[in-house]
Amino acid sequence: MFASDWLEVRRDDAVRPDGSHGVYDHVVAPGAVTVLAVDEERRVAVTRQWIYVHAQAQWRLPAGRIDDGDDGPVAAARRELAEETGLSASDWTELGTVHGADSLTNHRDHAFLATGLTAGSARLEPGEADLELHWLPFAQLVAMVVAGELPHAGSSFAVLMAQVRGLVE
């Protein structure tokens, strides 16, 4: 029906749970990654930028899609962290995968905890020219999730997974 470099809209012939036949419209999108990058002082690298589809600036963790050239989610996470923040990390922990809109899309967001950070230079894309990097205490980020101030699903998921698993103290 429609395809671009970013997504494909499909209409599939589907068999419903009751055995009847119908159609199912959905969006097929590449997976994404979200990175919870935490320094030795328990501060988290958080970005703030304009998000077109929500028509507002939002707080979120470094994140992006898994490109064809990436060798899996962790490679994409390393790339996205470096591109958006200039940071690299020596230690990576998989936090899990969240499905953002199951009825609409197959999109999956793979979340990672990155520690052992080293600073470098960001390599922002044209659409990220307004991206600002901030360092917020982990406890403040947890409070932001609870208050609904971190609406990006992958970001909230990563923060909560690190919190409940006791990975950031």
- The DSSP result for 64-114, as a single string, is EE--TTSSSHHHHHHHHHHHHH--EEEEEEEEEEEES-TTTB--EEEEEEE
Residues 99 and 159 in one domain: yes
Q: Is residue 169 a part of any domain in this protein?
A: no
Residues 42 and 16 in one domain: no
CA dihedral 56, 57, 58, 60 (to 10 degrees): 130
Give pLDDT, residue 55: 94
Residues 159 and 131 in one domain: yes
Exposure class string for 37-47: b at 16+ Cβ within 10 A, else e: bbbeeebbbbb
Residues 98 and 69 in one domain: yes
Q: Is residue 118 a part of any domain in this protein?
A: yes
Residues 98 and 15 in one domain: no
Question: What is the residue-level pLDDT of the chain in tens, covering all 169 positions?
Answer: 899 999 999 999 999 999 999 999 999 999 999 999 999 999 999 999 999 999 999 999 999 999 999 999 999 999 999 999 999 999 999 999 999 888 899 999 999 999 999 999 999 999 899 999 999 999 999 999 999 999 999 999 999 999 999 999 7
Residues 101 and 52 in one domain: yes
Tokens of 19: 């055995």
Q: Is residue 17 a part of any domain in this protein?
A: yes
Q: Is residue 145 a part of any domain in this protein?
A: yes
Domain that holds residue 146: 31-164
Residues 126 and 53 in one domain: yes
